[in-house]
Chains A and B, each alone.
Chain A
Amino acid sequence: MNGDNPLLRVRDLKVGYEVPGDLIVPVEGVSFDLNPHEVVGLIGDAGSGKSTTALALMGLARPPGKILGGSVEFGGRDLLTLPDAEIREIRGRDIGIIVQNPRAALNPMLRVGRQIGFAYRAHNEATEAAARAHAIDMLRLVGINDPERRVEAYAHELSGGMAQRALIAMALSSTPKLLIADEPTSGLDVTIQAQFLDEMWQTVQKTGSAMLLVTQELGVIANFCDRVLVLHKGRIVEDAPVRQFFAEPQHPYSQEVLRFYHERASGYPEQVTGGAGFLRTDALTKHFPLRGSDKVVQAVDKVTISVAKGEAVGLVGESGSGKTTVGRCLMRLEHPTAGAVILDGQDITALNAAEMRKMRSRMQIVFQDPFDSVNPRWTVADILDEPLRVHEGGDKAARRERAVAALKQVDLDPSLMIAKPRDLGASTLQRINIARALICNPDFVVLDEPTSVLAPRARNSLIALLARLQKELGISYLFISHDLTTVRYLCQRVAVMYLGQIVEEGSVEQVFTAPQHPYSRALLSAHLMPDPTNRRVDNPVPAALEGEIPSPIDVPKGCYLASRCPHVTDACRANPQVLTDLGQGRAVRCERVVAGEITLQEAAHD
């Protein structure tokens, strides 16, 4: 695949940093080529050196890191040996880069327009006024509404998606020949992510640049890249066209990453029968009072869900949809404003403190950030012992035996008992969190985005573990996630939340193959399925939802989606929508869908 005249030729690039008495080399010999007009994906685990590599291509390393060797040939010159002034000319002019966490990358003290102007004027002769005009043009090009006003904004006044767009406007302001995008969509919601990548892809095509897309997401690779580079332990272990990579991954690491993709053929998880309503909520509502105002944040609005014994129910939706609050209310970490939470026939919102403490051994939660969920000074043995001590007592040796068994249950070695959280990786620690949640044999576990901080390979194995434990132990899960791929693999049923309400629920198969509610449709169409044979860039998809999720303080009077829905009518704006049962366990909150006015076919033609 390497052309005769690559745009960028990287050979044996090494980046490392010194720690007292040792040299750590996270990037130890990366070599690859990039051709003009090519979109190449660089995939790898967290800590595999992706971002370090991306920076090193520009001749930079985050202190205390240093580029130790190798060459980055661009336009016939080795960027790593150029004097400072010359490489500064190439950065931004010939190679643009956008980084993770765009808001931190923008200067917080300068208006966005001025920053773009500085970047432009660093490489082009232009007056301040011309640079400003150019900044406005660039912001318009990257899809920012009202660019004349946005050039005056400061970074903290922009949303994450908008800041990312401002960054790409800056990176592309001098029409570079190569754009490096380092996880450009991390931290964005699915709906915005797809839209943003579409726009970025189109902009790159328009300006005729090549692109190196650094990511952890197979979906991004499959939908936007022509070629894939796999970075593993500081080296490129695979370099293949995207279809070939998905069809026949060569390296064992790639094979493991793609395991899900290959297992997809096995179909959807089997539905459970019996035990219905083991855990259920009845019109669960949670309002947060707003300080200094009589208004409330309506985080959860009359949510009624039900999880059968041994069933996994997915709860999906954008950030701000209230899914985490539902999980916290179920655990009574937040006390619901109204409604009931019923576990095995008992309303836990009515329990007193002592009864609730007893109840807690039957219901557990696993949080998103594994490091925040444990006491960093404790050993794994202490962490696992705590719930046993609190709920069961018993002698020390027996408890230790239970802890060792719990470790084995999550496929960890008992030697980890003496380790402390800082010695462990995120995925190992998340397994320990799961082991801790399961150690008192709960009936019900809330999993609040347990995989979202994990790299794809670790995510896959954690999902496989959760599926296995569910089958073995017959536990019920509420699986809160914005990652539809994992929901599809783990859950039997799914509920879609929007602005504190459930807008659709049904079996995963029903909802994933034929979503009814306009919001579920948008969510699913925005989801990047890791399928290179059906690429987003080849078949334009229906436009995503306009605008952003409204504020949960002033919720709309009628349908909550009315401001963004392509099928909106005046009736939708006026009438509050009710969740209507469609039979076969399906329900949808849209009177037009219920009336059969919006059909799947129609949606497909949108």
Chain B
Amino acid sequence: MLLRYITRRMLIGVIQLFCLVIAVFFLIRLLPADPVSRLVGLNSSPEGYEQAARQLGLDRPLFEQLWIYLGLSPDIAPGLLQGSLGVSWASGSTVGSEIATFLPVTLQLITLAFILAFIISIPVGMLGALNPGKAADKGVFVYSLFAGSQPEFWWGLLFVYVFYFQLGVAPAPLGQLSPMTFPPEPVTGFMLIDTLIAGEPAKFFEALHHLMMPVITLAFILSGPIIKMVRQNMLRALQSDFVLYANLIGLPRKRVARYALRAAMGPSMTLIGILYGFMLSGAVLVESVFSLGGIGQYAIRSVLAFDYPAIQGVVLVITAISLVVYLLLDLIHAAIDPRIAY
């Protein structure tokens, strides 16, 4: 039952991705842009221009380009079917390998930020819901107002100012490790994991130290909406008949609170999924402030360079990750609430 559901969702996901590939492929080619002249410069000779166009494959008819991209003409170049996202026009290396460098940085950042935001939000949201209108609830309101309403780069800069410049407890916002440290051999791309694999705990803690500020900044921003949602869902759960009845039957306070929390968590999963998908590219401001080369920065760079294969690759990968995250959260939701049927 469960396996069938997952398989079905995966299949639907593949179809969605396929449609997306087609749409993105044509949409970027509708742009009034000339990637070839961007590459060779405006002063190049017509011969040089033509040669560059031939190199990029842009001299071929549109559908042939699509065929190649999809991997249906492997004799010319490997495509999606062969597991290749193509070659970046800007850098000449494969898009796959570039995404593999940039994506883990972002995933590591936002996953940790989400975990931290969750750890903060659930008790805080519960506190507000359990004492509606009281001082604690008002405090929660003010917190979530601040956390949710100011742009993250502003908070990032403020935190850098306070914790690095004034207090000196945080490292300089200059990337995943100090500029002097030699990074470990990339295996997974996740700095925290790679340092452990390399057996260098000192670098692991250094990476953690460097991640601290961006993670806190992002978690602070994320906790705003999450707290509001937990509080709202919790309030609704606390007013439900079954919580009233749990009180009527004399269950201990703690048990009643757990009843309500569980009821509140289910609907929260949907928003978490949407936020996570959004953050994959939305964390770019925080990444920029802390000089972390994440997927968002890669995406912006590719767009500015009219680097079509890179744009396509980023869109595809981010969407695929979002779909998997949605599926995972739906599964968690179903585990929390037995009324959800596959």
Contact = CB atoms under 8 A, between A and B. Distances in A.
A94 B337 CA distance: 32
Most chain A CB within a 10 A radius of its CB, from B239, B248, B249, B262: B249
B249 A91 contact: yes
A118 B251 contact: yes
B315 to A, nearest CB: 35
Contacts of B339: 108-109, 154, 156
Most chain B CB within a 10 A radius of its CB, from A106, A107, A154: A107
Given A154-B338, A156-B339, A106 B250 contact: no
Interface in B242-266: 242, 244-253, 255, 259, 262-263, 266
B241 A101 contact: yes
Most chain B CB within a 10 A radius of its CB, from A90, A91, A101: A91
Chain B: interface residue count, which band?
20 to 34
Nearest to A94: B250
Given A84-B253, A118-B255, A123-B250, A108 B244 contact: no
Contacts of B251: 88, 92, 118-119, 122
Interface stretch (A55-63, A216-224, A373-381, A489-497): A55-63
Contacts of A123: 250
Contacts of A109: 259, 262-263, 266, 336-339
Nearest to A167: B245
B249 A171 contact: yes
Given A108-B338, A109-B263, A58 B248 contact: yes
A99 B336 contact: no
B240 interface: yes
B244 A88 contact: no
Interface in A53-78: 55, 58, 60, 62-63
Contacts of A106: 242, 245
Contacts of B252: 88, 122
A434 interface: no
A109 B263 CA distance: 8
B241 to A, nearest CB: 4
B337 A119 contact: no
Interface in B323-342: 336-339
A109 B247 CA distance: 17
A104 interface: yes
Interface in A350-371: none
Contact of A99 (B241, B255, B266, B338): B241
Nearest to A153: B338
Nearest to B251: A122
A123 B250 CA distance: 8
B82 to A, nearest CB: 39
Contacts of A104: 240-242
A553 interface: no
Contact of B249 (A122, A154, A156): A122
Most chain A CB within a 10 A radius of its CB, from B246, B248, B259, B263: B248
B251 to A, nearest CB: 5
Interface residues of A, number: 32
A151 to B, nearest CB: 14
A91 B337 contact: no
A440 interface: no
A506 B241 CA distance: 44
Given A60-B247, A60-B248, A105 B255 contact: no
A93 interface: yes
Contacts of A156: 338-339
Nearest to A105: B245
A170 interface: yes
A122 B256 CA distance: 11
Given A109-B262, A109-B337, A122-B252, A91 B242 contact: no
Given A63-B239, A104-B242, A106-B242, A92 B337 contact: no
Nearest to B247: A60
B250 A107 contact: no
B248 A91 contact: yes
Contacts of A91: 247-250
Contacts of A55: 244, 248
A97 interface: yes
B342 to A, nearest CB: 15
B145 to A, nearest CB: 24
Contact of B248 (A63, A97, A154): A97
Contact of B255 (A96, A101, A122, A171): A122
A74 to B, nearest CB: 13
A89 B336 CA distance: 29
Contacts of B250: 88-93, 119, 122-123
Contacts of B242: 104-108
A92 B249 contact: yes
Contacts of A99: 241, 244-245, 248
B262 to A, nearest CB: 6
A107 B246 contact: yes
B174 to A, nearest CB: 47
A84 B248 CA distance: 12
Interface in A176-213: none
Interface in B219-278: 239-242, 244-253, 255, 259, 262-263, 266
A92 B248 contact: yes
A108 B341 CA distance: 13
Nearest to A111: B338
B204 to A, nearest CB: 39
Contacts of A105: 241-242, 244-245
28 contacts: A60-B244, A60-B247, A88-B247, A88-B250, A90-B250, A92-B248, A92-B250, A92-B251, A93-B250, A99-B245, A99-B248, A104-B241, A105-B244, A106-B242, A106-B245, A107-B259, A108-B338, A109-B262, A109-B336, A109-B337, A109-B338, A119-B249, A119-B251, A122-B249, A122-B251, A123-B250, A170-B249, A171-B249
Interface of A: 55, 58, 60, 62-63, 84, 88-93, 96-97, 99, 101, 104-110, 118-119, 122-123, 154, 156, 167, 170-171
Given A122-B255, A123-B250, 12 more contacts: A88-B247, A92-B248, A99-B244, A104-B240, A104-B242, A105-B241, A106-B242, A109-B338, A118-B251, A154-B339, A156-B338, A170-B249
Q: State the 9 A-B residue pairs at the shortest beta-carbon distance, nearest first.
A: A92-B250, A91-B250, A104-B241, A105-B245, A92-B249, A119-B249, A107-B242, A88-B250, A105-B241
